[in-house]
Amino acid sequence: MALLTFIGAIQEVTGSCYLLETRDGVRVLLECGMRQGRSGNKGTRDNEATNRTPFPFDPKELDAVVLSHAHLDHSGLLPRLAKEGYKGPIYATESCCDLLELMLMDSAHLQEKDAEWENKWRSRLGKPPVKPLYTVEDASRALNQRRRVSYGSTVDVARGIRVTFHNAGHILGSAIVELEIHEFGSTRRLVFSGDLGSTCSPLMRTPTPLSRADVVLLESTYGDRDHRDANETLLELAGILQRAQNEGGNVLIPSFAVGRTQDLIYYLGRFYQEGRLPQQVVYLDSPMAARANNIYLQHIGEIADVDREYMRGTGTAKVGEWLPILRTTQSADESMALNRIKSGAIIIAGSGMCTGGRIVHHLKHNLWREECHIVFPGFQAKGTLGRAIVDGAETVRILRQRISVKAQIHTLGGFSAHAGQSQLIQWVGHFENKPELYLIHGEREKMDVLKGALQDRLNWTANIPEPGDRIAI
């Protein structure tokens, strides 16, 4: 009987990681995610510091790694895994592999830059230097271990372990992972939802329903509620943009470079095509997001038919035609120049939870201005700067300065790329015979609500594991 160990994204939304071990010694790692955000409320060390703690397994003894999608909370420690001796294959969908190169190389550059910056301060204090979590060379090593798998294809990833990727509808290349475990003449089936997409999201297809499993791991990011209707959210966004234009302020939108930014460009393009976009310029201040746009276009066949046909119907198959007022910035100087713009601009920049990146500098220059509007289109994890702002902090610390929060803050409930509670229940409800169900990738209070809803609606008791728990498959 195989064993599954819950390592990361257990009662939290970052650091996704699970270890599958069979009786004859095969070890397959499902996800290798980075922890993001902060823990505690008194200036404690970054949750990210836990990314340096030893893996609870020997990377050299792993036979395979299987990845659901490219977001760093699912993939971000792959370079460190390779650095510490893992030499085996990393299986992911074809488009995920393309995005993975973008994500990991960018992360490695940031790791090197952050270590360089930190060491400047440490040298002044007489402290020893720190090394980056991993380097560009480490990321390149991990990327060379990628193995591309198309949706619906079944591959042998290790002795007795077969994997099939199904469309999860979350971001480009995102997958529901189905693992078949063949041991001693019997077959057991583990299904990992990955991050399930919202059926209201643009561009992505509806998550593939599955019906057979012995054990299901279900994400629960929004297990406590349903998302607001997408059309209502679009009306709210249009109203915010008009108010900002009337009041003479900028609109800042913290956004993840992969997934959320492409959704926003699609929606702003719709506004532009329909004559409902009052601003004269939209800045995409994220070279990474611009490169992600190109990868999305390279895999246009994965885009939902209805959205692809809508764009074709307007005669705007390319981003430049769809949203011609979009401007992308590449250099740091171009980014800093945006801080001289006092009104009339929409600025989309990373990171999505304001834990770093160019959005932090734009917040420093706009957050204290009452006429400016900050729009949060997605989930803000506990301990992040974005969560502090959303929760109503009067001041926040940005780049070693205390900044007053005077701008108008908006959270949009219909833009999430994650399934809401009803969508989660609908998807997992397709499984026959109620397999063992474990809730992962969610904050504890949201898991508790989802567990109650599953009991009420499906008469199905879900389990909430603790970090380090092991179960038999």
- Report how far residue 9's alpha carbon sits from residue 71's, in angstroms, rounded to the nearest whole number: 13
Write down the mean pLDDT value for the chain: 93
DSSP 8-state secondary structure symbol assigned to residue 302 = G
Give the list of residues 6+ apart from residue 166 with CB closer than 8 angstroms, or none. Answer: 151, 152, 175, 176, 178, 207, 208, 210
DSSP state at residue 374: E
pLDDT recorded at residue 320: 65
Give the model's pLDDT for residue 47.
63
Q: Look at residue 45 in the predicted model and tell me its pLDDT.
A: 46
Sheet holding 215-219, edge to edge: 154-158, 161-167, 175-183, 186-192, 215-219, 436-440
* Domains detected in the chain: 3-225+417-472 (3.60.15.10), 230-411 (3.40.50.10890)
| 42-71 pLDDT, tens digit each | 333 456 788 999 999 999 999 999 999 999
- E strand or H helix at 345: strand 345-349
Contact 341, 361 (CB under 8 A): no
Task: Give average pLDDT by consecutive 10-residue segment, the chain, 473 residues.
Answer: 96 96 96 76 54 96 98 96 98 98 95 92 93 97 98 98 97 97 94 92 92 98 91 94 96 93 93 94 95 92 84 64 92 95 95 91 96 92 91 94 96 87 98 97 97 98 98 96
Tell me how far apart the alpha carbons of residues 126 and 305 are, in angstroms, rounded to a whole number: 59
pLDDT tens digits, 180-200? 999 988 999 999 999 999 877
DSSP label of 34: P
Kindly write down the DSSP assignment for every residue of 122-191, as one continuous string: HHHHTPPP---SS-HHHHHHHHTTEEEE-TT-EEEEETTEEEEEEE-SSSTT-EEEEEEEEETTEEEEEE
Q: What is the pLDDT of residue 446?
A: 96
**Tell me, what's the pLDDT at 315?**
59
